[in-house]
Amino acid sequence: MRRLLDVPAPAKLNLFLHITGRRDDGYHLLQSVFMLIDWCDLLHFERRDDGGIDREDIGPGLASGALPAEDLSVLAAKALRDATGCTQGVRIGLEKRLPAEAGMGGGSSDAATTLLALNRLWGLGLTRRELATIGLRLGADVPFFLGGRNAWVEGAGEQITPLHLAPARFVVVKPPTGASTQRIFGSPELKRDTKTATIQGFAANDAGNKTDAMGRGFQASGALDIQEILAFGHNDLQPVAEAICPEVGHCIQWLKSQGLQSRMTGSGTAVFAHLAQAKNLTPAPGGWTVRECANMDAHPLLDWCTD
């Protein structure tokens, strides 16, 4: 095998994102539900026998926003080679469809797809757990994408519990302005003390207060209802992001004018709303990206390696 073409790297939405504290090393502690959606970057991989690793933008999509040598897909390839002693190389073609600084995990997903693809292309045979150990050094979201399932995520992003979510559709809106993760998390205005919840309460239909038992109305034996999760949570990063990028608030107000309640996803400037039924949206302001998406039950490359 010398080539792998049109390999998907799906985005994620955070149905909520609570910051519950901060570690001594500066990493923030979070709790969130990460959900895969069917909006994907596409990557092409061609094996090189000379050991070189490079990347180019291809197709009609967006530019990646990073210098090729600093792109997470390139860093992932180098990290995988360093961890295994592999001497092969790769040429990576990236068709960027996900907007940058959106909070949708685009770069981390590209890195995860690169690890999965090169594990196959280079014949390394690493397990998902071994790839996740490498991936965590690249970014806190990378292990989630390698895990391949929608999940309850906590700690610094490394504690992942798979969840089964009910099928649903969403509209995602991204203004042209972005906001860096570092700037948002570094703000002194960021709320960092949301009360910690439990996964047991989240999934087991506890009868307690929603601030300490997230599972109110959920059934552990079936798919978790999207609207119930949205009713529970919020995004602690949203007020900071709105101060940095007022267009986040403009997107939320535009969706409200369409009869939709929305919130920001992750640590970027994209917002989303759950579509309980089909909607005909009025035209958005110029420069905004508006896309209707569905959630995914599993990553398209879930079976590309063993656990």
Domain boundaries, the chain: 3-163, 169-294
Q: List residues with catalytic annotation.
A: 12, 141
CATH architecture of the domain 3-163 equals 2-Layer Sandwich (3.30)
Output the pLDDT for position 201. 61
Give the chain as a 3 state SS string. CCEEEEEEEEEEEEEEEEEEEECCCCCEEEEEEEEEEEEEEEEEEEEECCCCEEEEECCCCECCCCCHHHCHHHHHHHHHHHHHCCCCEEEEEEEECCCCCCCCCHHHHHHHHHHHHHHHHCCCCCCHHHHHHHHHCCCCCHHHHHHCECEEEEECCCEEEECCECCCEEEEEECCCCCCHHHHHCCCCCCCCCCCCCHHHHHCCCCCCCCCCCCCCCCCCCCECHHHHHHHCCECCHHHHHHHCCHHHHHHHHHHHCCCCEEECCCCCCEEEEECCCCCCCCCCCCCEEEEEEECCECCCHHHCCC
- Residue-by-residue pLDDT tens, the chain, 307 positions: 899 999 999 999 999 999 998 888 878 898 999 999 999 999 999 999 999 999 999 877 666 666 666 789 999 999 999 999 999 999 999 999 999 999 999 999 999 999 999 999 999 999 999 999 999 999 989 999 999 999 999 988 888 999 999 999 999 999 998 888 888 888 888 878 888 887 766 655 432 233 323 333 333 446 888 998 998 889 999 999 999 999 999 999 999 999 999 999 999 999 999 998 888 999 999 999 999 999 999 999 999 999 8
Q: What is the CATH number of domain 169-294?
A: 3.30.70.890
Give this prediction's pTM.
0.90
Tell me if domain 3-163 and domain 169-294 are identical in fold.
Answer: no
Output the pLDDT for position 193. 82
